Amino acid sequence: MQSFRTELENPLVEKDIIDLEKKIKLFKEGKIDEDKFRSLRLARGVYGQRQPGVQMVRIKLPYGKMTFNQWKKIADISDEYSIGNLHLTTRQDVQIHYVSLDRTPELWSLLEQDSITLREACGNTVRNVTASVTAGVDINELFDVTPYAHAVFVFFLRNPICQEMGRKIKMAFSNNELDTALTYIHDLGFIPKINNGILGFKVMVGGGLGAQPHMALLAYNFLPANKLIPFIESVLRVFDRHGERNSRNKARLKFLIQKIGFDQFIDLVKMENNALSHQKVDINPFSDTIEIPNKLSSDSFVGLKNEYDLWYQTNVIRQRQQGLFGVYVRVPLGNISSTVSRNLIAELEGYIGNDVRVTINQGLFFRNIPEANLAYVFNVLKKYNLSSPGANSVANITACPGTDTCNLAISDSTSITHVLENVITEEFPDLVKNNNITIKISGCMNSCGQHGMANIGFHGSSLKSLDKKVLPALQVLLGGGTLGDGIGKAAEKVIKVPSKRGPDVLRSIFADFELNALDGEYFNDYFDRKGKIYFYDLLKPLADLSTLSNADFIDWGRDELFETAIGVGECAGVVVDLIGILIFEAEEKLNSSLESYKQNAWSDAIYYAYSAQISAGKALLLEKGINCNTQTKIIVDFGEHFSEMLGLNVSNAIMEINRNPPDKIFAENYIAQASDIVNKCATYREKLLAVN
């Protein structure tokens, strides 16, 4: 049985980077199909922007953690290869924009010097594993989920079972029942539990937002911690084999579960048990020893006392470690410059812990701060305009980049955020203390800004005026949110209004809420009590298109007339490969299988051999004009049409993968079978080409 992946292996990293450089060269020479190349670079964190000729590079930070050295390296990289801006995301990643494709391998190699990876930050892979930013320091947590999130990140990085799935997989670990990591909107979500002294997790499966939100379903009330990784591996194997491949809009895990039913899905997961690389994986439950900062400040706060007090009240938490505190930093739209980043590092190092976390609302979280240093931290943040209160309040709006850089965005989601935050700060100042309402904005229906689970959500859209001219619009959604312990609620679409009337939407909602809510009533309870129709009627005057002005045809932050200009989305888009590329791909996977076999990584070797047979089968089926939308269908049709030519029951032979334990003997036989099938398929196609 192969060893558990315990670290990022430098030879593999080097091979990855060299391979990306080679693929870029082949693509530019016209030797790799554009769709195939897109899939290759996405899996390496390189994403096409709305602007032609430049890329967004997504830096994968498991559970959002950066050391000072890593933060500084990212800032330096942004200066050298980008525009000096770091964009913090809702998945606790950092993105830099406007990067030249040719320079991405060099950029990646520099990041890896500080153990930072781009690998599988995009594409049809396991995306960044997120977690509650207070994990390890939260007074209310049962145990620290950080070691488990890290183990999952490492185990599935470069794992052959999840390199080319039908769509992406997102995972999250919340550190208590408040569910601050939003497990209910993830493909796989985990909440810590203890049962008879045994550490484990409540497991939620099949959540997701997008155009069709689906709340996750309960798989286990309690799964022992040493069964965590085997369960995830089983789910990924099932998703890889049975998940949709052709229709991108139906390719997420939630749609597979809807299609076959949850009970059958769990049965398929259990059927993978015999083939797993590990039947259990023990994870050390103790995180690194906390290093207490070695510098103590005698500073008092600078400015008005009520300013500091409000910051302390809304942005500071007391840690479970006695005498230490955590500080939330509100970063407008998640954008922080490389210069400010370096200045913060220089001025805060030694005064706060060397463990900075990116939050899911696009901010930062500093931890392990002695009480004596809080005023100093406030003063430093104030110097760089980062001391705004209400880091987790309604006043801090989450927004994706929208039409600034994204191909799929329809209308602005960033400039309007500034306007809406000003409405709250200036007209409803008491809401800066309200952590029970969330506002989230996306540039399109895909919910990268998480509007689909917000109490008040907006997504970019468009409308046609009475004289058929196009104007930017906002779809208004209400009533979503976190209920706790893995349970959440999707927001409901209420009405669509011109974008320029977005501020008036907030004014109407908050004024009505202040006037008519019961004492102590939460917004969602108020929404449920009043009902969707009530809010439709409340906002209907703002949707009146007979009163449009010229300004309504110009989007926020723009000077020109609005027009819809949606590009080709790359957010894990399904790739339909050419036949020749599929044969080449099968041969490459065979080579990877043999390399893994030489390293005694039997499970990896077997799965690469399985994938090689799938690629070869798909190639021959496409040659016959048979288009299959799942690997399961490929296996069945491959057997039906080519078993006689190949001299064996192909379907049965390929599916030996989940009937045998991944030992050396089975790996040897299965690789030999795969080699024979791939070689015969390649020869068959060569003969067809010769005839034609």
Which CATH number does the domain housing residue 142 bear?
A: 3.30.413.10
Question: Of 288, 319, 349, which residue is a domain's last?
Answer: 288
Question: Of 100, 123, 146, which residue is a domain's last?
Answer: 123
pLDDT in the model for residue 49: 79
What CATH number is attached to the domain comprising 583?
A: 1.20.120.330
What CATH number is attached to the domain comprising 344?
A: 3.90.480.10
pLDDT in the model for residue 692: 57
Residues 497-547: tens digit of each pLDDT? 999 999 999 999 999 999 999 999 999 999 999 999 999 999 999 999 999
pLDDT in the model for residue 288: 59
Cβ atoms of 413 and 430 closer than 8 Å: no
pLDDT in the model for residue 5: 46
0.85 exceeded by pTM: yes
603 and 671 in a single domain? The answer is yes
The reply to whether 343 falls in a domain is: yes
109 and 182 in a single domain? The answer is no
Gap between the Cα atoms of 128 and 169, Å rounded: 9
Gap between the Cα atoms of 463 and 480, Å rounded: 24
* Strand-by-strand arrangement of the 456-464 sheet: 398-399, 439-442, 456-464, 470-478, 492-498
136 and 117 in a single domain? The answer is no
What CATH number is attached to the domain comprising 109?
A: 3.90.480.20
Task: Kindly report the average pLDDT of the chain as a whole number.
Answer: 91
Gap between the Cα atoms of 180 and 124, Å rounded: 25
pLDDT in the model for residue 7: 40
Cβ atoms of 179 and 191 closer than 8 Å: yes
Residues 245-269: tens digit of each pLDDT? 888 889 999 999 999 999 999 999 9
178 and 281 in a single domain? The answer is yes
Confidence label for 1 from pLDDT (cuts 50, 70 and 90): very low
The reply to whether 226 falls in a domain is: yes
Q: What is the CA radius of gyration of the chain?
A: 26
**How far is C-alpha 636 from the chain's CA centre?**
33
608 and 460 in a single domain? The answer is no
What is residue 532's DSSP assignment? H
Domains in the chain, number = 5
Half-sphere exposure of 132 (CA within 13 A, CB side): 26
Confidence label for 582 from pLDDT (cuts 50, 70 and 90): confident
The reply to whether 269 falls in a domain is: yes
**No. of H helices and E strands in the chain?**
20, 22
378 and 437 in a single domain? The answer is no
275 and 172 in a single domain? The answer is yes
653 contacts: CB under 8 Å, gap ≥ 6: 673, 677
Residues 347-363: tens digit of each pLDDT? 999 999 999 999 999 99
The reply to whether 300 falls in a domain is: no
109 and 166 in a single domain? The answer is no
Cβ atoms of 95 and 336 closer than 8 Å: no
**Residue 576 confidence (pLDDT) above 50:** no
Burial of residue 54 (number of CB atoms within 10 Å: 0-12, 13-18, 19+): middle
**Residue 566 confidence (pLDDT) above 60:** no
611 and 657 in a single domain? The answer is yes
549 and 447 in a single domain? The answer is yes
Q: Which range marks the domain in which residue 203 is found?
A: 127-288
Question: Of 234, 259, 288, which residue is a domain's last?
Answer: 288
The reply to whether 572 falls in a domain is: no
Residues 355-409: tens digit of each pLDDT? 999 999 999 999 999 999 999 999 999 999 999 999 999 999 999 888 777 877 8
Q: What is the DSSP string of 257-310?
A: HHHH-HHHHHHHHHHTGGG-S-S--------PPP---S--------S-HHHHHH
372 and 406 in a single domain? The answer is no
277 and 137 in a single domain? The answer is yes
The reply to whether 335 falls in a domain is: yes
The reply to whether 393 falls in a domain is: no
The reply to whether 559 falls in a domain is: no
**Residue 292 confidence (pLDDT) above 90:** no
Residues 138-153: tens digit of each pLDDT? 999 999 999 999 999 9
